[in-house]
Structures are given as structure tokens and as C-alpha cells.
Amino acid sequence: MLDLAIPDSGPLITFGLLDRLDLLDRFKCPILVTDMVSEEVLRGPDTAKDKIIFERWFEARGNRVQTVDTTYGAMWKELGPEARERVKRLHPNAGELSIREFSDTLRDTIPEDDQVLVLFEEHAVKKMKFGPHVTLIHTFAFMLALENLGVIPSANVLHAEVLKRGRNLAKDLFERRALTNAGLEPDWQIDYDAG
């Protein structure tokens, strides 16, 4: 069984900006996000177009999108705006620490016969140890895979649209495949509805 895990808000922001969260909906599996990711994409002003997109997306997915609590997310919820600004100045890597805690949770709780696809944009994710049953893929590499599956006409066109809308998305081809107990590379695309 596959789980889609999104440890940093980058992929959601990118696909939300494009109003293409439907590309994530095609996974036939649970979608796991950290509480920090949920907080980040939902905290904007009520008039922000992408906030409305995210609220509708989370609501429509029901319990399919599962929020994984982290120590940092719990702490963040308790802080007021001024304290949050202080934390950001003093500990600019607090979000990365939340991701690291999330990676530890996945490694320690997901059964090894299950597979996890981690979709990310935060560079530090590449160095984290999620366990051997986890595939890591950058958003742009994911777009290329969708192009190869015939789901989207062009990853480069989507990338250009992201840049046009003011978001910097690296053309990162990073993908590190998981290994099964038999030493084979599993294919996350089996659990993706390309049709």
C-alpha cells in the first residue's frame, strides 16, 4: 500500500497556485501532511485566493488528508504572532526540524511492506533518513513523471506558469526510489490514476 507524504508546504503551494491540486487527488491512497504544512497553507488572510483553494481542498478530501502532529507544530499553535516572529528570527530552521520529526515518525511507524512517496521542495529533505521503503521525489521531477504518464502536456509549461505567478521552483530532477524487502524498486505510479 502507498501513502503520499508531503513534509513541506512547497508542493501544496505550487499546485495550489496553479489551481492543480487535482494532480495530487489522483493518488489512490492517504495523503499525509504535517501540522506545520497545514498551518502554513491555511494561515493567510481570508481574502487570499490560495487560502480558499486550500480550505476547499482539505474539506473535500475529508479524512483522506491526514495531519501528522509534530512537537514544533503543537508549540507553534500555542504562540502568539509576536512570539512566532521571535521564533522565526531565532530559529529559522524550525520548519526543517518539524520535517525531521515527521521523517522519524514515518520511518518508525510505517510498516516496511508499505510504500511511502514523499513529495517535497525543501532541499534539506534530500538528506533526511525516511527509511528504505520511502521514495523521495521533488515537485519538478514529479511534474516530469506526470508528463511521461500523459497526465499533463508539459512539465516545462507548468514550471513556466509557476514562475510567471511569482513562485521560484527549482528544476530539480531528484528522485530516490525506495527498495522493497526483495530489493526491488517499487513503482509509485501503480497507485496513481493517470487516466
- Cβ neighbours of residue 178 closer than 8 Å, sequence gap 6 or more: 115, 116, 132, 133, 134, 135, 185, 186
- The tens digit of pLDDT for each residue in 166-185 reads 999 999 999 998 876 655 56
Q: How crowded is residue 147: how many other Cβ atoms within 10 Å of its Cβ? A: 16
Q: How far apart are the first and last CA of the chain?
A: 20
Domain count, the chain: 1
For residue 37, the domain's CATH number is 3.40.50
Bridge partners, residue 54, by sequence = none
Residue 17 C-alpha cell reads as: 497556485
pTM: 0.91
Residue 193 C-alpha cell reads as: 490514476
| Residue 123, domain extent | 2-191
- The tens digit of pLDDT for each residue in 38-77 reads 988 888 767 777 888 899 998 888 888 999 999 988 888 8
